[in-house]
């Protein structure tokens, strides 16, 4: 089954404790993206990657890191999480110019 | 950052009514316009991708049109059903995706 998976689905952590949210796709998509969704602000792109070892900042990259060492994986790293990073996070992947397929979302709470 | 606006922000309609909403975007630098349907507690699901001025797409009772010269797209739902209740997102794309804040549709049985 073609899908985008994210782990964990839910996470409660404390300020400053490094965390990684994994994202994996099995559709051989070149493009992968991370978004955060906050009430009233819609989906905002954090980082995106057009292929292995190619990553670019989206609209809200501050406080986040990503890496793309393999085509299928695109982890999101929060080196020192803060409460303003409490949000719902989505990973997505797509072929260039085509529609995006979204993962199930990760709800992160930073205390 | 490209400004993608959707209106109205929310909409309540009776079952059986037809409805439509708008996605507005800068007409310059256009590459593609996407529509997504997003149900509560789920992930956004793709409805349409449109690239050409005058494009019209249809999927069941849902259709969309695109005007790249004036910078807007309409999404139409004919004969709304309660299962159509969701947030409808549009996104403008190049290398990045720029999403609007969505139109929340509630269909009242």
| DSSP characters over B23-50 | EE--STT--EEEEEEE-TTS--EEEEEE
* Spatial contact of B1 and B57, defined as CB atoms under 8 Å apart: no
Question: What confidence tier does B14 reach under pLDDT thresholds 50, 70, 90?
Answer: very high
pLDDT in tens, B38-76: 998 899 999 999 988 889 999 999 999 999 999 999 999
Tell me: pLDDT of B1 over 90: no
The pLDDT score that the predictor gives to residue A2 is 83
The pLDDT score that the predictor gives to residue B67 is 94
Tell me: pLDDT of B30 over 80: no
Q: Do A100 and B97 touch (CB under 8 A)?
A: yes
The pLDDT score that the predictor gives to residue B28 is 76
Q: Do A59 and B43 touch (CB under 8 A)?
A: no
- What does pLDDT average to over chain B? 92
Closest C-alpha to B99, from A48, A1, A66, A83: A48
Segment (H or E) for B105: strand B103-108
Helix and strand numbers, DSSP H then E, in chain B: 0, 11
Tell me: pLDDT of B29 over 90: no
Separation between Cα atoms, residue B71 and residue B25, nearest integer Å: 5
The pLDDT score that the predictor gives to residue A97 is 81
The pLDDT score that the predictor gives to residue A19 is 97
Residues 90-109 of A with CB under 8 A from B: 90, 92, 97-105
Closest C-alpha to A79, from A20, A33, A36: A20
Write the CA distances from A109 to A14, A18, A68, A84, B43, integer angstroms.
8, 13, 25, 9, 19
Q: Which residues of B touch A (CB under 8 A)?
A: 1, 31-32, 34, 42-46, 49, 51, 89, 91, 93, 95-102
The pLDDT score that the predictor gives to residue B9 is 94
The pLDDT score that the predictor gives to residue A79 is 95
Residue of chain A with shortest Cα separation from B100: A42
Exposure of B29 by Cβ count < 10 A (0-12 exposed, 13-18 middle, 19+ buried)?
Answer: exposed
Among candidates B31, B46, B51 on the partner chain, residue whose Cβ is nearest the Cβ of A100 = B46
* Spatial contact of B32 and A97, defined as CB atoms under 8 Å apart: yes
Cis peptide before A14 (omega within 30 of 0): no
Question: What confidence tier does B80 reach under pLDDT thresholds 50, 70, 90?
Answer: very high
B15: three-class secondary structure by DSSP? coil
The pLDDT score that the predictor gives to residue B3 is 85
pLDDT in tens, A50-108: 999 999 999 999 999 999 999 999 999 999 999 999 999 999 999 988 889 999 999 99
Residue of chain A with shortest Cα separation from B49: A99
B17's tokens: 């009514």
DSSP strands (E only) in chain A: 4-7, 10-13, 19-25, 31-38, 42-51, 54-57, 65-66, 76-78, 87-94, 101-102, 106-110
Query: Across residues B19-45, what is the average pLDDT?
Result: 90
Closest C-alpha to A97, from B92, B100, B70, B99: B92
């Amino acid at each position: 089954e073609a899908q985008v998976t994210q782990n964990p689905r839910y996470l409660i952590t404390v300020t400053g404790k490094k965390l990684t949210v994994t994202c994996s796709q099995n559709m051989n998509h070149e493009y992968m993206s991370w978004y955060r969704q906050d009430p009233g602000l819609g989906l905002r792109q954090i980082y995106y990657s057009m292929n292995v070892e190619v990553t670019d900042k989206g609209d809200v990259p501050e406080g986040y890191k990503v890496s793309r060492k393999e085509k299928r994986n695109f982890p999101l790293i929060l080196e020192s999480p803060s409460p303003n990073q409490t949000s719902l996070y989505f990973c997505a992947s797509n072929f260039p110019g085509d529609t995006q397929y979204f993962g199930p979302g990760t709800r992160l709470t930073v205390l | 950052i490209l400004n993608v606006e959707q209106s109205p922000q929310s909409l309540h309609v009776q079952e059986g009514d037809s409805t439509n909403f708008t996605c507005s975007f800068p007409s310059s630098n256009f590459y593609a316009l996407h529509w997504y349907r997003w149900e509560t507690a789920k992930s956004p699901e793709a409805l349409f991708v449109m690239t050409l001025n005058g494009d019209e797409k249809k999927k069941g009772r849902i259709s969309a049109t695109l005007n790249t010269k004036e910078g807007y797209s309409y999404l139409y739902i004919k004969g709304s059903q309660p299962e159509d209740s969701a947030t409808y997102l549009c996104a403008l794309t190049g290398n990045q995706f720029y999403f609007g804040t969505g139109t929340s549709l509630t269909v009242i049985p």
